[in-house]
Each structure stands twice: as structure tokens, then as C-alpha cells.
Amino acid sequence: MFQCACADPRGSPEMEPAGRSWRRKMMVPVVLLIIFPSVLLSIKVSPLIEKISDHKDFKKLLRTRNNVLVLYSKSASVAERPLKLLSDVAQDVKGRATVSWIDCGDAESRKVCKKVKVDPGAKSSGVELLHYKDGTFHLEYNRPFTLKSIVAFLKDPEGAPLWEENPEAKDVVHIDNEKDFRRFLKKEERPLLMMFYAPWCSVCKRMMPVYQQAATNLKGSYVLAGLNVHPPEFDRLKEEYNVKGYPTILYFEKGKYMFNFEKYGATAKDIADWLKDPEPPVPDAPEVAWAEQETSVNHLTDADFDQFLKDHPSVLVMFYAPWCGHCKKIKPEYEKAAETLHSDTGVGVLAAVDATLHRSVSERFHITGFPTLKYFENGEEKYTLPQLRTEQKIVEWMHSPEAPPPPEPSWDEKPSNVLHLVGEDFREAMKKKKHSLVMFYAPSQIAYGAVDCTKEKNQELCKHEGVEGFPTFNYYNYGKFSEKYNGERTESGFVGYIKTLRERDHVKLGKKKEEL
């Protein structure tokens, strides 16, 4: 068809009849009109990708979805390849995130792009990928344009990038799933270190640069690999290799598991030296229970607790858990105070109860956190003393026992011209006032909670919340899991973390809102 518009073997176009010449001139445009729509029809868009062409629809999308990735394209043709990948992404994040497409080359959709001030034509690729969180612009996606990276990002938009996204980790073999892991073990002949890790694990993060450097230094002779086994689909694998915490580093020879590598403070050279002559880890000597150590602290049980209080009129008791970090911190101070008081006649004694072993007495006194210090006088509980944390304070208080300072009164208990209302009185009080400005508030938007994962009724909950070891700290925002806490497990560490959350909120509120 195209040939007859250019030349005719029978003669020039000028020699043709007028009607035939006109039909030839009209043929090319007709063909082009047919071909151009076929380009658009060839672009297969998953029904899971929401095509947006109206600004109202776009605003509704952001209003009703809190995790949205939008592909902006300068034309439909340049969007074809990204849309193929994003179709797979949309399938993997179904129910957790939304993938959308706006074709800025389309006359109607162009208005949306202008409204939100996005110009994909300014990019060399002709596309721009933006993420919206909780109804507002969050960030421009700048991680690798791969299925794994985009899915990981949409599952945790504020999480750290995948380990394999780090260019310095190019020599670490990154495994994606259990099937690939087992296939890899079968074919790999070289000595292998396999790190089972979790993305949020602070020890893993500290060790990764060393592990990467060792992988590069040993490339060709040894293999260092990594696998994120935190997701629940790896539960069977974790059970098989007895993974109790992160990282767990396994050593294999010709695909056969030998033993663990447990030098978590090692350098790249240490790893290389160890691989030249690998040896199983030396088992640690079992930790001696505090109750079996030689100290002046009296260790009590469910059986002898009441009798001890009868025999000693003034007793300060620490209820503790062996794994509790704060208990371990106060322990030496408590022991020194007990030694000092031991030589003072007429002064009380110090005792301790392992609340994980002696639950009867602990539950009787409603012990919910560790350490909890309670003072008993003549066998009766008198005070709970959270302020006693050093030898000096403990000794001084035991010489002159007195009630702890009262807690700070709440706002409604302080003298004020503010009318504090309660549920049943609210409507009646409002009817009597012509003008009322009411502040609905919470004394604190921060709650510190604890779950005992050793109790049978809590075990399913702990598993669901991703608890792998103790203690584990999770941060929740209005009931939704946000991230693992990996900071210092001290008062200043917890307080500092909460402050960063508040600062993060202020920054979000202070950002200039994009016109939608």
C-alpha cells in the first residue's frame, strides 16, 4: 500500500487519472490513523494499576488510600516497559499498596500533571515515579527499578533499602527465597558463609560492611551470602537451622552445614583467617544464676518469702527477671548496698525474687515490670520505690524509710479556671454556656506497653508481631506496626527515640502541602 503512494512501475503519478491520484494521496493518512491507535492498544495495563486522567479522581485516590505509587509518563509509549514491571508489583502488593499511572501526554491527563506540577518530559527516561503516603506527597522513588526493590519499598516506605541495593555489597551473594537457597547449596562447591539476617537488626547492620569487604577480598576462593529470613515464610528454615536471633551465620562445606560462625565483632581479616582454618565455636560457660552467687542479697522463693518477712521487720525486695537489662544494670549497685547494710546493725536487709521462677509471690504483689522494688515492714507491703537505683540512694533510704514523693497531679487535679468535663456531665455543662471552646486532649500520646511472651495466651500474638528474641521492642502508630526499635536500651535511649518521633511529626506537618 505504501509503495503506490511513492512510485508506480507503470509511470509517474502525474499521468494517472484525477480520481485515482486523489485516492492515492488520501491513502497514507488513513493508514497512519489506523496504525497509531494500535500502538496504544499494544500496551497491556494490569487491572490492578489504576489509570488516572481526572484531577478529582486523583484527589479521591489519595484520600482513600494511604500508600500509593504513581507512574507519570510523558507519553503512553514510554510507559510501556515500566508498566509491565509495575503490573507484577501491583500483584505482589495487592491489599497493601496501590499502583497508579498518569499519562501526561494525554490531553485530558495533562491537566492533572500540571495541577500537581509534575513534568516527566524533563526526565531523560520520560517517566517519573512518585510515592504518596497518608494522602500527601512522600518522596520520589530513587531505588533500583526492580520488582524486588519496589515491592520491598511499598511494603515499608520508610524502611532501609535492601542490602543488595548497596553497590559495596556486589560480591555478597543475595538469596531471595528458600527454593533458591537449597538450589544454591547443591551447586556450590566452595566453602560458604551464609548470613541469616533481619533488615532491622542493629548487629546485622554493624556487621554488613565487614562482611561485604570480606566477600570482596575472598572472591573466587570462598563465598559469602546473605538471606533475609525474618518474613514468616522462612519459619521452617529458621527452625531447621535453629535460628534464635539475628544475625545467625552458618558455615557450609560442599553444601553441607558444619557449624556456626559466632565472631560478631570480627573484622574482614578475622573472617578470612577463620575461613582458612574454620573451627566450631567454643561453648560459653553457663551463666551462674544470681541466686547461686556469693552476695549479701537474700534470694527468696515462693516457699520461704512470707517466713523471711516475719523474721525481718524491715526488708527491701527487688523483683527481677534474669534477662532484664535494667535489672542487670542495678544489680551491682544493689549488691554493694546490701554489703554496706550488712555491717549496719538495726537497719533493714535487702532481698531479691526471680519473678520468672517464683510467679506466685510475684503475681500476689502485681509485679508487671522489672526491676520493681518494694519495701515491706513487719511483713506488710508499704511502698513501691522506683527512684532507688544507686547504692547511695538505697542505703540512705533504708536508714530512714519514708514514703516516696507523690506522683505529679494531673491537669484536672490542679487549681485552674478551666472547666474539666467528664462524659456523663458534658452535654449538661455545655447547655449552660453560651460560648464554649473545648479542648479534647490526652495527657500523653505515648504508651509504654509490655507483653509476656512466655505465657501461652500471648505466644500467638508474639509470633504474629515478629518477636524472635527477648527483649524485642516494636513501635506502633495508632495500632499499626511501624518499625523495630534498635536504639540503646536505656532511659535516655527510649526518651531520645520518642523525641525523634515527635520531631518527625513536626517536620511532616511543616511541609508545604502540594496542590492536588
Catalytic positions, please?
Answer: 201, 204, 324, 327
Quick one: DSSP state of residue 11?
B
Cβ atoms of 307 and 300 within 8 Å: the answer is no
Classify residue 121 as exposed, middle or buried by CB count within 10 Å of its CB (0-12, 13-18, 19+). Answer: middle
Residue among 222, 218, 219 nearest 269 (CA): 218
Distance CA(306)–CA(365), nearest Å, equals 12
Please list, in sequence order, all residues whose beta carbon lies within 8 angstroms of the beta carbon of residue 341, skipping any fewer than 6 positions away. Answer: 296, 347, 348, 349, 350, 395, 398
Cβ atoms of 104 and 78 within 8 Å: the answer is no
Please list, in sequence order, all residues whose beta carbon lies within 8 angstroms of the beta carbon of residue 370, skipping any fewer than 6 positions away. Answer: 319, 320, 321, 324, 326, 327, 355
Question: Alpha carbon of 515 to those of 58, 105, 114, 135: distances in Å?
Answer: 12, 20, 10, 12
If one counts every other C-beta atom within 10 angstroms of the C-beta of residue 210, the result is 17
Distance CA(336)–CA(207), nearest Å, equals 37
Cβ atoms of 24 and 16 within 8 Å: the answer is yes
334-361: buried (b, 16+ CB within 10 Å) or exposed (e) per residue?
A: bbbbbebbeeeeeebbbbbbbbbebeeb
- Could you tell me if residue 177 is left (phi over 0), alpha (psi between -120 and 50 degrees) or otherwise beta? beta
Residue among 271, 141, 121 nearest 194 (CA): 271
Distance CA(334)–CA(206), nearest Å, equals 33
